[in-house]
Amino acid sequence: LRSNELTLGAWEIKSRGESAHILACDQVLERLSEHWLVRETIGMLRRTFARLEVSSRSLFAIVDQDSCFAGTLLELVLAADRSYMLHLPNGNAQAPHIELSPMNFGPYPTAQGTTRLHARFYGEVERLAAVQSALGKPIDAEQAFALGLVTLTPDDLDWRDEIRLAFEERASLSPDALTGMEANLRFNGENMATRIFGRLSAWQNWIFIRPNAVGEHGALKIFGTGKKAQFNRDRI
């Protein structure tokens, strides 16, 4: 997708399946983590999640009915720029849930060397402790929002419109500006990797000399004129 579909600037991440199966796999990965094959499998997953985060695309995770974002697959939600979780009335058997496993607390570090939960909460000890207390428990939309694990929890009446508006909003912005904003928010640590993939040194200086900003029809060039910027939609 990154190499061949340069104009697809937003990726929608969904899952389908049984959370129990994902959690059972996580138990095997954790129990046999010293086995060479399991160690290589965990390493491949870690690198895959890390490559997703440096793909310079807008990542939206959609947690809806039949989703199985649990344990290892929950890392996709934590890696996304925004996550939307369907909120259904209490007692509705089809209401989606997410679930944490020990695999969310160490085996898949980000480029800056921390877990995605640590990066999400900027190391706030109390909030991390609250999340850890939910380990092994199904978490519904209301609880997930209270814990800070998802961005928004629209109900079934607003669900389709909220998702549509989110994509339309993203499509209206400069791809270059989004690349910089997303990278700076994803990589809130400070090491050589974050200097390359995030922060001012790598992104904002690069963005402000791109045609989408200072070209003849760029956003900065025509700012205040009442005209609409014309963006090249290609992402790097």
**Per-residue model confidence (pLDDT) at position 204:** 63
Q: Report the pLDDT averaged over residues 159-170.
A: 95
| 80-94, 117-131, 145-159, range with greatest mean pLDDT | 145-159
Whether residue 77 contacts residue 128, with contact meaning beta carbons closer than 8 Å, is answered with: no
Which residue type, as a one-letter code, is found at position 149?
Answer: L
Two structure tokens written together for 230: 């014309």
Is the pTM higher than 0.85? The answer reads yes
For residue range 64-113, list pLDDT tens digits in order.
Answer: 999 999 999 999 999 999 999 999 988 788 999 999 999 999 999 998 88
State residue 201's pLDDT score.
Answer: 55
Average pLDDT over residues 129-136: 95
Cα separation, 190 vs 59, whole angstroms: 22
| Three-class SS state of 93 | coil
For residues 235 and 9, the answer to whether their CB atoms sit within 8 Å is yes
Average pLDDT on 146-156 reads 96
Residue type, position 155, single letter: D
The string of pLDDT tens digits covering residues 182-199 is 887 888 777 777 777 766
